[in-house]
Every structure is written in C-alpha cells, then in structure tokens.
C-alpha cells in the first residue's frame, strides 16, 4: 500500500521520464537518502545488462530532506546509474549505457565544493522489490595545502633569504571531464586550464576562481607556516600545484606533481622548499627541490549525499 501511494506523486513530479514497457512485468527499487538537507534532483537511468545495455527507463526524482521515493523498471537484471547535478541536462540522446558515458560531462563552471556534482552506479539482480547500497561520489578532487616551509641552509649564498610567495595555482587543471569512464579508474579529462602560467581570463570566468588560483601567503622561512588553502579540480595526468614568488631578486616556481590523484578524495600536503625553484613555469625543478608529505582521505564535503537503493 505504501508503494502504491507513492507512485502517483512520483510520476507527476517527473518532468522528463521514460517509463518501463507496460507489457513487461515490473519491479520496484526503493530509494532512500540520508544526511541530505538540500533540495536536489536525482537522475536515475536503468539499463539492460545484456551486451548492448540499452536504456530500459529513465526517471527524474526531486528530493528534499529525509525520506524515501520509489523507482521502477521492467523486470530483469539492470545496471542503475544515479547522478545529482547542479544544472538541468537534456537526456533525450541517451539510448544505451555507452551514450550516457559519452554525453554526461561535469564542468568546474557548474561545481560548488560545498555541494559537488555526484554520480554512482550499481548492477541490480532481478527482483520484484529490492534494496542495495549505492555510493554517490564527486568527480572533483580536493587538494589542501596545509603548510609550507623554506629551508635553504645548504646554500650559503642565499641561506638567510625567505621565499616570498606571491601566488599559488593548479597547473594543467582539468576543468571538464567524463565522470563515467568505461574501464578506467578515473574520470576521462576533456579540457583543462593553466598550461604553465595561469590563464587569468578563463579562470576569472569561473564562478569560483579560487578553486584554481589564489593569492600568495607572503614570507616563508625555516619555521613551518600553516596556510590551509583549498583547491579543487578533476584529476588529470599532468596536474600540479605551483607556488610562485621570489628568493631575493630571483623569480622562483615550485611545481608539485599531482598526476596520481583520484576523484572523490581529499589530499593534504605539507611542503618543504630546500633550494631555489625554477625561473619559469615551464621549466622543471631539480630533484629534491621540494619535499612533500601527503595524506589521502575520503573527501567529506559539507552536504554529503548517501542513498540506499
């Protein structure tokens, strides 16, 4: 009776929907969300599990606060994909799972670190009703520069000089990705910014430029300075965090390679600068110029979205 009472309101609330074939036996999937105070919309796709993985049905479910809604599909095993975006997308071109993998794109222009866009998928067995755990994760990576020090004691010519940091930014930062990447452990990069020096115009066009570029933290010496700066982008093979400034009169760049990061993770960095950096953003630094201590943790954003299916 509870399911029957939920279905009419569920159907009328969906502005775009492809319901399962009425000639085939149906099944219900119970969707419950927890720890989610924001209003949002879930896009739910049910695909066949056969090699073609054709679309069985699509449902758009508005959610607000704690509660439960009911999803429906035709009978049979299904691949379920659930996503929550910060903008509306037209899904009429999706006819199979591979179509969704190609069409679904996340961009930094639509991201808010306090409520990131998330996606998750699971394979469901055939049953009239069932639940399963599905974790919706961001495609974003969170990078926190926790602290930095500059210890030049091995180089007498500038041993007493501090590094004066005038800026910091993410270089080769992926700004658009395919979050559903078949057979890949990371989202597939589509476009990126800051190839070398920051692209000021493109960065300023973002709703949150500070996700990629921030002001410097001033003088850095042998005593460790806590800076607690947060950066966000999608993972990419050439991603690096760059500190730029001066040691005496010499301009110095300190790039920290971050090419092995994963989506949905938070990385905390403590840096120690041991010698002068490179004179330009395009030049690599000598081995041992930056000592890096890092900590990787699951990223817990302010409004996590956890659903049980």
Mean pLDDT for 111-116 is 90
Q: Which of 46-50, 121-125, 130-134, 287-291 has the lowest average pLDDT?
A: 130-134
Is residue 26 scored above 70 in pLDDT?
no
Place of tokens 């930062």: 173
Q: For the chain, what is the largest distance between any 2 Cα atoms, rounded to a whole number of angstroms?
A: 83
The pLDDT of residue 4: 23
Task: Provide the mean pLDDT of the chain.
Answer: 83
**Tokens matching residue 115:** 């409520």
Give 263-279 pLDDT, tens digit per residue: 999 999 999 999 999 99
Domains, the chain, ranges and CATH? 2-139+302-308 (2.60.40), 141-298 (2.60.40.3690)
Q: Which of 111-125, 165-179, 247-261 has the lowest average pLDDT?
A: 111-125
Quote the CA–CA distance of 255 and 237 in Å, as a whole number.
14
Quote the CA–CA distance of 106 and 234 in Å, as a whole number.
9
The pLDDT of residue 272: 97
Is residue 289 scored above 90 in pLDDT?
yes
Mean pLDDT for 283-305 is 79
**Tokens matching residue 34:** 């927890």
Q: Report the b/e string of 91-100 with b at 16+ CB within 10 A.
A: beebeebebb
* Cα Rg, the chain, nearest whole Å: 24
Quote the CA–CA distance of 168 and 269 in Å, as a whole number.
13
DSSP bridge partners of 229: 145
The pLDDT of residue 40: 77
Quote the CA–CA distance of 158 and 219 in Å, as a whole number.
14
Q: Higher model confidence: residue 59 or residue 232?
A: 232
Q: Higher model confidence: residue 30 or residue 51?
A: 51
In whole angstroms, how far apart are CA 21 and each of 25, 58, 309? 8, 12, 21
Q: Which of 34-43, 186-195, 216-225 has the lowest average pLDDT?
A: 34-43
Give 240-260 pLDDT, tens digit per residue: 999 999 999 999 999 999 998
Place 306 in a pLDDT band, splitting at 50, 70 and 90.
Answer: low
Quote the CA–CA distance of 79 and 29 in Å, as a whole number.
12
The pLDDT of residue 36: 47
Place 221 in a pLDDT band, splitting at 50, 70 and 90.
Answer: very high
DSSP 84-135: E-SS----TT--BHHHHHHH--EEGGG--TTS--EEEEEEEPP-SEE--EEE
Is residue 229 scored above 50 in pLDDT?
yes
Q: Report the b/e string of 232-262 with b at 16+ CB within 10 A.
A: bbbbbeebbbbbbbbbeeeebbbbbbbeebe
The answer to whether residues 272 and 291 touch, using CB atoms and an 8 Å cutoff, is yes
The pLDDT of residue 147: 97
Strands 137-138 and 173-178: unpaired
**What does residue 11 show for φ and ψ, rounded to 5 degrees?**
-65, -45
Q: Name the region of 21 (left: φ>0; alpha: ψ -120 to 50; beta: rest).
A: beta
The pLDDT of residue 30: 54
The pLDDT of residue 37: 45
Give 85-112 pLDDT, tens digit per residue: 888 788 888 999 999 999 999 999 999 9
Which DSSP state fits 4?
Answer: H
Is residue 285 scored above 80 in pLDDT?
yes
Place 1 in a pLDDT band, splitting at 50, 70 and 90.
Answer: very low
Residue 89 C-beta-side C-alpha neighbours within 13 Å: 22
Q: Higher model confidence: residue 18 or residue 74?
A: 74
Quote the CA–CA distance of 203 and 196 in Å, as a whole number.
13
């Amino acid at each position: 009776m509870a399911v029957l009472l939920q279905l009419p309101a569920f159907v009328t609330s969906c502005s775009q929907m492809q319901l399962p074939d009425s000639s085939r036996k149906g099944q219900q999937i119970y969707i419950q969300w927890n720890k989610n105070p924001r209003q949002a919309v879930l896009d739910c796709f049910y695909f066949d599990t056969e090699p073609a993985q054709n679309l069985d049905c699509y449902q758009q479910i508005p959610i607000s606060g704690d509660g439960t809604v009911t999803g429906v599909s035709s009978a049979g095993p299904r691949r379920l994909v659930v996503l929550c975006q910060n903008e509306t997308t037209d899904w009429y071109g999706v006819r199979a799972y591979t179509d969704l993998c190609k069409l679904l794109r996340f961009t930094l222009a639509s991201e808010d670190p306090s409520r990131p866009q998330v996606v998750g998928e699971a394979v469901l067995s055939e049953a009239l009703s069932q639940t399963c755990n599905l974790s919706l994760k961001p495609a974003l990576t969170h990078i926190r520069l926790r602290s930095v020090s500059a210890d030049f004691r091995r180089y007498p010519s500038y041993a007493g000089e501090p590094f004066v940091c005038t800026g910091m930014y993410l270089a080769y930062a992926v700004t658009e990705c395919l979050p559903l990447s078949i057979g890949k452990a990371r989202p597939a990069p589509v476009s990126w910014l800051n190839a070398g020096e920051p692209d000021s115009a493109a960065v300023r066009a973002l709703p949150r430029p500070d996700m990629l570029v921030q002001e410097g933290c001033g003088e850095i010496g042998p005593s460790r300075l806590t800076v607690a700066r947060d950066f966000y982008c999608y993972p990419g093979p050439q991603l690096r965090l760059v500190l730029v400034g001066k040691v005496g009169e010499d301009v110095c760049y300190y790039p920290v390679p971050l090419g092995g990061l994963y989506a949905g993770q938070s990385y905390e960095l403590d840096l120690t600068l041991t010698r002068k950096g490179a004179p330009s953003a395009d030049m690599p630094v000598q081995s041992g110029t930056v000592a890096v201590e890092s900590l990787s943790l699951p990223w817990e954003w302010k409004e996590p979205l956890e659903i049980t299916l």
